[in-house]
Amino acid sequence: MDDLETTLIAWEVLVDLQDQGKVHKIGVSNTYDVETLERLGMKREVQIVQNRWHEGNNWDPAVFRYCKRNGIEYQSFWTLSGNPGLLKNSTLLALSRDANCTPPQALFRFAQLQGITPLSGTTNEEHMKEGVAVDGITFVEGARLRLSALRSLIGIV
């Protein structure tokens, strides 16, 4: 929405639809400030946030932390296309190698382990299969330090 007042009006419509049982969960997308989430939460707590999660916005730390603290599902997009540097990061590459998966799979799994649901917009069937397989990826016991290093890099500590 263009401004907070318009967003609040739209939010009230979503709350009404949820109260009528027409929608299960309500949320927002492209909302990068905690104040907006707090204002919406005065009417009804936001249940899902879909935001770009990438190097260019420093991985959206304030909103991510707010979501984590308040039990709000954080869904990321641009997880792969917005993170070319992270996909080439030596720590992520080592995690990928040790887990016998691709770097994009390692990044998706890392995101999941932080409480982030990475969204995929691929139309490539092979990439879809790789994305679905992410849930089965287990990082080896020695990966704890690498995971910690990645968390520090993106500001999740």
Distance CA 89, CA 103 (A): 9
Is the Cβ–Cβ distance between 15 and 37 less than 8 Å? Answer: no
Q: What Å distances lie between residue 11 and 17, 39, 64, 101, 131, CA to CA?
A: 10, 10, 20, 40, 32
CB-based contacts of 23: which residues, under 8 Å, 6+ apart? 14, 17
User: pLDDT tens digits for the chain (157 residues)?
Assistant: 678 999 999 999 999 999 999 999 999 999 999 999 999 999 999 999 999 999 999 999 999 999 999 999 999 999 999 999 999 999 999 999 999 999 999 999 999 999 999 999 999 999 999 999 999 999 988 899 999 999 999 988 7
Q: Which amino acid is at 66?
A: Y
Count CB-CB contacts under 10 A for residue 10: 13
Domains of the chain and any CATH numbers: 47-154 (3.20.20.100)
Angle made by CA atoms 29, 138, 110, in degrees to the nearest 5? 30
Query: pTM to 2 decimals?
Result: 0.92
What three-state secondary structure class fits 44? coil
